């Protein structure tokens, strides 16, 4: 499978995760209590996507266009990736979804 095909599948996962986080943020407007643990699940999905991004980078690093390779590497080495990989990502998912809602 080419990197473009792999990226399209990964991008679809990212878009779906973003939609779920936006929905979660809307629920948080009326109820700040996460009694069903959705934030924890979102955190787990964030870590899964981060792992997939790392695998994608390892598999296609040499064949990616230079700008794409640089942006991906910047993300993987940046603060966002460090936060996502944290075991307490549910707190971060909640904060991130609230930020997304306010933009």
Q: What is the pLDDT of residues 77-95, one digit of tens each?
A: 998 888 888 766 555 555 5
Residue appearing with tokens 């979660």: 24
Number of domains within the chain: 1
What is this structure's pTM? 0.78
Cα of first residue to Cα of last residue in the chain, in angstroms, is 36
In this structure, is the dihedral angle defined by the CA atoms of residues 31, 33, 37 and 43, taken in order, positive or negative?
positive
10 Å CB burial of residue 5 (0-12, 13-18, 19+) is exposed
83 or 47: which carries more pLDDT confidence? 47
């Amino acid at each position: 499978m080419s990197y473009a095909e792999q990226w399209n599948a990964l991008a679809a996962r990212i878009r779906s995760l973003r939609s779920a986080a936006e929905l979660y943020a809307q629920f948080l407007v009326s109820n700040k209590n996460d009694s069903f643990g959705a934030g924890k699940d979102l955190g787990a999905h964030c870590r899964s996507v981060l792992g997939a991004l790392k695998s994608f980078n390892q598999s296609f690093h040499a064949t990616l266009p230079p700008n794409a390779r640089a942006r991906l590497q910047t993300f993987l080495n940046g603060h966002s990736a460090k936060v996502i990989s944290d075991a307490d990502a549910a707190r971060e998912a909640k904060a991130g979804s609230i930020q997304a809602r306010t933009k």
